[in-house]
Amino acid sequence: MLNPEKIKEVLMECTGLEAEITENTVKVIPSLSGYLTPVSSIEIAGDNLFVHSSPITNTEWWQAVMPTSLCPRFMGIMDIKDDFTQSCAGGKCEEACQAEDDFVELRASRLRLKDDEEIISKRFPRLHLFLARTRRLLEETNSTYNTNIELDVDSCFPFLCASVASDEEALRSTLEAFKSIYPEITGVRGKVDTAEIPPTDLDFDPMDEESLVDEARYYALVEMVRCESKDLLAKLMSNKGGTIEEKYYVIEAEKLRYILYPNRIEAYRNDNELYMGTVYFNKGINEVKNYLVTILGGGRW
């Protein structure tokens, strides 16, 4: 059986990822290794190790434009329990998905990858193709490396996972497999600079598989900015004596409240009476940093 220190050592040798040990888990450090990595954690459970990758995508970024009346969740048609249940049931599409003029850019994250596969295949054919390609690559990789890596689709953050015996040779083989397949799926290779994300044409051919990696990589860049933005908000709260409660980041001394949404941050002062502006994650982390500094300094965005 491998101890945590040995697992950390093997992880570093195989992938170059910096990690830390937390109880029975070896966790990759995002600030040092990147926010999306082939391996994000290795959990020790008796004689087995559970290896997880970072998400291969966030389905929040896969969108489809349609009339609000054609949304699968319009007026609570689908019984899905999440943060948007009440808004969807009440037909409050502007509140749930920022709908305008009776049209909405529906996000695939409003649906369940496992339970709503048929709807996703029709409404989000690119995402469906992306996941089908991922499964095909998994079959090839498992055959090549003699591994049992699977795709977990229980959330809007699908990720790769594998159970492996607590044996150095078996762990090395599994880590090599993760290192090989993750960039093939996501287009993310190593620690990526997300200071600025150049404008990207998202008008892809629905059935063109060749451009899938480019599309997936763009969404990965936006997701990395979202993850780092969350860390920046947490650090800001720590420095300013603020508090965090679910999506609300509050600095009482400044009468300032940031709200972290799946695709943006909004800011308000004086008990939500004064709207200070919104920043989205699709322009890069520099945009978010400038936004946070501007709002904290009393300016509006």
What pLDDT sits at residue 156? 97
Residue 211: predicted pLDDT: 85
Structural domain for 229, as ranges: 217-296
Tell which residue, 63, 58, 57, 93, has the closest CA to residue 76: 93
Residue 39, in any domain of the structure:
yes
pLDDT in tens, 85-110: 999 999 999 988 999 999 999 999 99
Same domain, 149 and 279: no
Query: Is 222 in the same domain as 277?
Result: yes
Say what the pLDDT of residue 202 is. 75
Q: How confident is the model at residue 207 (pLDDT cuts 50, 70, 90)?
A: low
Asked if residue 197 belongs to a domain, the reply is no
The reply to whether 246 falls in a domain is yes
115-138 residue pLDDT tens: 999 999 999 999 999 999 999 999
User: Are 252 and 224 within one domain?
Assistant: yes
What's the total number of domains in the chain?
3
Per-residue pLDDT of 73-84, as tens digits, reads 999 899 899 999
206 occurs within a structural domain: no
- Same domain? For 134 and 272 the reply is no
Q: What is the mean pLDDT of residues 220-239?
A: 97
Residues 132 and 17 grouped into a single domain: yes
**Is the domain of 285 the same as that of 221?**
yes
- CATH number at 175 reads 3.30.1460.10
Q: Is residue 199 part of a domain?
A: no
Q: Is residue 111 part of a domain?
A: yes
b/e map of 115-136 (b: 16 or more CB within 10 Å)?
ebeebbeebbebbbbbbebbee
**Under 8 Å between Cβ of 149 and 162:** yes
Average pLDDT over residues 204-209: 69
Record the pTM: 0.94
Taking only the tens place, the pLDDT of each residue in 163-201 is 999 999 999 999 999 999 999 999 999 999 999 998 887
8 A C-beta contact, residue 141 and residue 53: no
Using alpha carbons, select from 284, 286, 283, 256 the residue that is nearest to residue 272. 256
**Mean predicted confidence (pLDDT) in 148-169:** 97
Pick the more confident residue, 23 or 141.
141
Write down the mean pLDDT value for the chain: 94
